[in-house]
Structure 1
Amino acid sequence: MQALRDMAALLTVGLLVVAATCLAPEPGSSERSVTGVRRRAVQLAQGSAAAWLSGNLVLIGLVYSDASGSRLDAPGFWEQAAFFATSYELGRYLLWGAVLAAAVAATCALASSVAFLGVAALLSLAGLWPMALTGHAAGTLQHIDAVNLQMFHLVGIGVWAGGLLALVLLRPYLGTGAGAPIRHFSTLATWGLLLVTVSGVLGAALRLPSPGAIVSTYGALLGLKLAAVVVLAGLGHRQRHRLASEADLGGRTRFWRVLALEAAILVGAAGTGVALTRTAPPAPSGSPRPLTAAEAMLGSSLPPPLDAGAWWSGWSIDSLFLPFGLAAAVWYVLAVRRLATRGVRWPWWRTALWLTGCVLFLWATNGPPGTYGRVLFSMHMIQHMTIATAVPVFLVLGAPVTLALRTLRRRDDGSRGLREWLLQTVHSLPAQLLGHPIVASALFVVSMVAFYYSSLFELSLETHTGHVLMTLHFLLSGYLFAECLVGIDPGLRRPTYPIRTLLVMVTFGFHALFSVSLMASTRVLAEEWYAALGRTWGDSLADDQYLGASLGWLLGEYPLAVIAVALLVSWVSADRRERRRFDRSEAREGDRQLHAYNAYLAGLSARTDTMQPSQSTAVLGTAEEADRS
């Protein structure tokens, strides 16, 4: 049942990703429409999402039966299974997987435009997260790293293998124009293969205690799965480009033969993955010791006392955010280099600001703030304020959307690549709504207050999912706020500069008020969590919270200074551009506006010469007011 659920999930991801990025609409219809083979792909994805939903619901009963030893037909079994789905972690993961699968199916049913298609594809990728939490990688001490690697693994398989199955199902509807979709999919398959291989190797390194453990049953199954990946990679590299040219000529025999072979090996790899979930990894040598409270809560050992040396050595790899930070920096440098090869100069200071934002993000998530963020409130506040206020400002000043639009290739076959989806996103209604200055400012301030004065803060400490969502939310809200103030990228409508200045003053004033209120509070936030860690070094919980609130106030100042300088420079530059535009317009039109104004003043003077003294005074007063205005 789990194998069928996994295959349905991966097929759903593959169908939606291929439909969103590789397929073109029906000839004669709009590029934003879901017609022709796109419509067929969405219909198939809706059916596979329904199977995904059903598989999760059935697994709730089967997993509970397996864990409790109760028969499916035992009295009150399904009431107990429902309690298991809402009250226990494993059951909640399966339930959330079912909810996300239902959301995917509903979005497919409503997919009348390409925007819904993109939302469905994103929801399907998000639906893989509960599967990563319940996968065979989730039982190790390095639980967080294992889950992150499992998520990368599932995304890679979904895009690569799921897309492969999608092409098999859609081949009869592609006709003689299958070449372009296969070429587009080949690029996706390459990145998917890279994700699968790297995450698989790193995941194996986490689960195997020593190189000699490869001879165990678990190691043999892992070797079979790796062999399937290698065989698929070789077939794909050899055949895809050849298939693209043959498909354009109408050839189908080789298409079906090779893709059927890849699909068969893929099914075997998926079955091996299920077998891995039922096989315990080899135990390390020596007698195992029970986990401490801190190890069970953090998924790793309690870090050493925070001293001066720990600010340099207290680094721990975050396997989720480290790849994103490095990828962002590498992409930006390569994009600037591509512009340079065309003879286009990109401002060096924008590159420096973007790289500064990436370095700060990596430091906040992998450096001492990331290592001690769940142990000390003060370090959590440093991490939070860096991600929410400092990092977004530097990233926005790097103008990434403008750089991407200048370097990404434009599709001319009706399908949608990264450039087309980027334009769709920045001009979409949600982006316009969330990027509105009032909404962005309120989201930046209100979400901070709601986060700390509710159970969300403690949830972000207790669960990996909560921590990831917290990081992404504050990074996105800070980015939208900074973009509407000092950004130059297309998409958002920005207010006038006086309104921007007022928004900066009001928003950071509320931020300072929040920090002061937290400093004056006698209630210790997440007290049960911090007390249960058993930390014996450092300040008390109350003193550490006071220090964290003080740091939160202080760390909001230097991003404010950066925003103020950027806003001032942008304001002055905008005034200069407006003056130059006005001067060029007057030069083209022969000083038309100046002559019109002089004629207006001459008319007023002529009228005053023919009026009585009292009337002349009134008219002259009106003219003086006009001059002042």
Structure 2
Amino acid sequence: MASAVAGLALLLLVVGLAGDVYTPLGNADPGAPTTYGFAVVRLVADAAAAGCCGGLVFAAFVAPGRRGGALSADAFAATRLAAGCAVCWLGAALVAVPFSAAVAAGLPVSRTLRPEVLLPTMSATEEPKAWLCTAVAAALATALAFSAMTWRTVVSAAVLAVVGLLPPVVTGRVSVGAGHDLATNAMLWHVPAASVWLGALIALLARLRRDTAIPDLVLLRYRRLSRWCFVTAAVSGPVAGLVLARPDGLLGGYGLLLAVQTAVLVAAGTTAWRGRRPAAELVLLALSAGASVALTVLVPPGFVNHPATVQETLLGYGLEAPRTVARLVLDWRPDLLFAPVVVLAVTGYLAGVRRLRRRGDHWPPGRVVAWIAGWAVVLVVTSSGIGVYAPGTFSLHMVTHMALNMFAPVLLVLGAPVTLALRALPAGAHGEVPGARDWVAALVHAPVTRFFAHPAVAAVLFAGSFYALYFSDLFGEAMLFHWAHQLMKVHFLVSGYLFAWVVIGADRTPRRLPHLARLGVLFAVMPFHAFFGVIVMSKQTVIGYTYYHYLDVWWAGDLLTDQRLGGGIAWASGEIPMLVMVIALLVRWARDDERRARRADRHGAGELDAYNAMLAELAARRN
């Protein structure tokens, strides 16, 4: 209770001292009740969301489970705590819909409660729709959490809850203005990390209230989780704040509050790192949460001091300089969503290989090279000049699309990451307690994985998404929003990985296909990429015309000509990875046949030896 009061008091103090936060943005003032009310509702929603997400993560990965996927008593209690928080989160998210609409429209919340006012406001602004999406995710997480009796259900609820955190983030103030690409990507790390940390701490304290004797394994897992969350939140939060404030805005109220929030977060992380006084850690995290919500109320100095151009409004940066080979190679702008994933994936993979080699096990160097090369492709097309200039023209966008959807996945699946994880990760401790290896195995064989790894589903997602995205209004709408553009990239990479995993993956899939069937799936999909490129080259209308018209890149030339170039890139570049997949599949087929032949020879030699021994025994008896 003290922690909640502390966070609320800090929030109300900042809102009271903020003054007029609407006129600098060109918005009307909805009144003090709406301003204070929305701030309080958002704090309640964030706290309840943290309790839901963190409680579910605690139940899934901190509280020791049981073999077979059954929940332990501690995991069950944490899940029920998360379910209660989810109910509160659902209610707060629904209340936030009219409040966010009132703030966007500059009207008292009492007026936006009327359908004739609320519905047009929701259609014209993004944040009310974001809170509605959060409410849907919270409702699903509530239903799963209350019905959860197995580990997989808890993980599914946790994934839904974490996804539900994101819509208000990607449509808030971090999503507009110059540098919004950096700020939004940073907050996509910060909010889940801070929420899981706070919620897991609440679950730990609830466990302490029931029994002060906590197993060492629970404390060890919580400390590891809290340290990862602390490092992630302590790095990503200031990055987003600095982008929004700019150096010349750090001396005002916004910069002061950002410094206070960062200092409190570091103090909480220091307390968690030492593993002492969890109650003090909770108070500090509550103060940090209050400061975070208060930052969403204040006007970021960068908005006022550095008005954004049209290109900066759409992309976060400008494309005034024409693209050249030198700029494509040297003009790097880190994608703060993908770049950390690349670093973590490569580092974790190399750590696994090192663990295998330390205990004397062999891991093929070719797999290491393939894994690193695959992530290198992802890094180059998202953070180098190619990624910077890709939103400016359809042809460069198609380069990134094909690289993420076809080139990188082929290399990544040849790295066999699941096999490495199952061999390198530690097994469960204390006999009946599952560990990281058990978690990976359970997720690989989960029903949702079996569904998406079905050859028909993987093939439709891989080839069909081209047609659904580019031959409808979806592409043009998605390019207008940074979060939708990032989601598009994630879809390219994941759908490509699923298909490559099913066809040529070195890891065993939940549904094992004969090599002939895999070859048939591959040949069935190949024409769709060629047809897609031909259709794009022959189209007489510009795909995503509104977006490219708004962007107005002067050096891009004729949009239709550039689009035809993009279709040619899709047609030509699609053949190379398909050929690589065919070769890789044939090589794997030959190796498997050779392995089976050797096994049969060994089996036949054993039978021959037994037959000869029998004849020798019979001959000895006759003599």
Note whether the superposition's TM-score is higher than 0.5: yes
Counterparts of 1:75 and 1:134 in 2: how far apart (Å)? Answer: 19
Residue 120 of structure 2, aligned match among 83, 87, 92: 83
Contact 2:329–2:386 under 8 Å retained in 1: no
Pairing partner for 1:32 from 69, 90, 96: 69
Residue correspondence of structure 1 range 255-404 to structure 2 within 5 A:
258-282=277-301, 288=305, 290-404=307-421
How far apart are the structure 1 equivalents of 2:454 and 2:67? 29
- Larger deviation, residues 484-493 vs 379-388: 484-493
1:17 alignment partner, one of 33, 47, 57: 57
Query: Structure 2 residue aligned with 1:193, among 230, 248, 252?
Result: 230
Rounded Cα–Cα distance in structure 2 between residues aligned with 1:388 and 1:69: 43
Q: Which amino acid aligns with 2:351?
A: L
Q: Which amino acid in the other structure matches residue 281 of structure 2?
A: E
Q: Residues 61-89 of structure 1: CA distance to partner in whole angstroms, max 9, x if unpaired?
A: 22333444433444963542243234411
* Identity rate, percent: 33
SS at match of 1:462: coil
1:95 aligns with 2:132: yes
Query: Equivalent residue for 1:606?
Result: none
TM-aligned CA deviation for residue 237 of structure 1: 2.2
Matched, 1:565 2:583: yes
CA distance in 1, matches of 2:275, 2:260: 23
CA distance in 1 between counterparts of 2:385 and 2:541 reads 26
Amino acid at match of 1:321: F
Deviation string, structure 1 residues 258-281 (Cα, Å, up to 9, x no partner): 222211122112112222222223
Q: Residue 410 of structure 1 aligns to a residue in which SS?
A: coil
Report the CA distance between 1:425 and its aligned residue: 1.4
Q: What residue in structure 2 maps to residue 548 of structure 1?
A: 566
* Worse overlay, 146-155 or 295-304: 295-304
Aligned residues: 571
**Residue of 431, 434, 454 corresponding to 1:436:** 454
CA distance in 1, matches of 2:260, 2:474: 42
Correspondence for 1:112: 149
Residue identity matched to 1:515: G
Q: Tell me the secondary structure at the aligned position of residue 33 of structure 1.
A: coil
Aligned residue for 1:230? 266
- The residue number in structure 2 matching 1:612 is none
SS at match of 1:154: helix
Q: Which runs of 4+ in 1 moved over 6 A?
A: 591-594
Q: For the Cα contact (< 8 Å) 1:171–1:178, is it kept in 2? A: no
Structure 1's 208 and 266: CA in aligned 2 closer, same or farther, altered over 3 A?
same
Q: Distance in 1 between matches of 2:192 and 2:502?
A: 32
CA distance in 2, matches of 1:505, 1:593: 46
CA distance in 1, matches of 2:302, 2:476: 33
| Separation in 2, partners of 1:71, 1:558 | 59
Q: 1:324 to 1:76 in 2, by over 3 A?
A: closer
Partner of 2:425: 408
Distance 1:283 1:86 in 2: 27
SS at match of 1:38: helix
Could you tell me how far 1:120 is from its partner in structure 2? 0.5
- Deviation at residue 459 of structure 1 after TM alignment: 2.6
By how many angstroms is 1:112 displaced? 2.7
Give 3-state SS (helix, strand or coil) of 1:489's partner.
Answer: coil
- The one-letter code of the counterpart of 1:229 is L
2:488 to 428, 445, 470: 470
Query: Which digits, 9 at most, give the CA deviation of each residue in 1:533-592, with x for residues without a partner?
Result: 112213311111110010011111221222122112212111111110111101111279
Instruction: Label 1:428 to 1:174 Cα distance change in 2 as closer, same or farther (>3 A).
Output: farther
Partner of 1:252: none
Distance 1:237 1:316 in 2: 32
CA gap 1:262/1:356 in 2 versus in 1, 3 angstroms: same
Give unmatched runs, 5+ long, in structure 1: 241-257, 595-629
Q: Deviation at 1:189?
A: 0.7
Q: 2:253 aligns with which of 210, 217, 221?
A: 217
Q: Aligned match of 2:160 in 123, 145, 155?
A: 123
Determine the structure 1 residue equivalent to 2:37.
Answer: none
Contact preservation (8 Å) 1:37, 1:174: no
Q: Which stretch shifts more, 488-497 or 270-279?
A: 488-497
Using a 3 Å threshold, how does the CA distance of structure 1 residues 72 and 473 change in structure 2: closer, same or farther?
closer
Alpha-carbon distance, 1:416 to partner: 4.7
CA RMSD of aligned residues (A): 2.3
Cα drift, residue 397 of structure 1:
0.4
Structure 2: 5+ residue stretches without partners? 1-40, 613-623
- Higher-Rg structure is 1
Whole-Å Cα distance in 1 between the matches of residues 479 and 177 of structure 2? Answer: 19
Q: Does 1:5 align with 2:35?
A: no
2:245 is the alignment partner of 1:208? yes
Q: Paired residue for 2:593, among 575, 580, 595?
A: 575
CA distance in 2, matches of 1:72, 1:202: 33
Q: Which amino acid aligns with 2:512?
A: R
For residue 616 of structure 1, what is the aligned residue in structure 2?
A: none
Measure, in 1, the Cα distance between the counterparts of 2:229 and 2:536. Answer: 45
Q: Which among 196, 204, 208 is matched to residue 159 of structure 1?
A: 196
- What is the match of residue 171 of structure 1? 208
Q: Deviations over 1:408-439 (max 9, x none)?
A: 11122555543222111111122222212233
CA distance in 2, matches of 1:122, 1:416: 20
Q: Distance in 2 between matches of 1:384 and 1:192?
A: 31
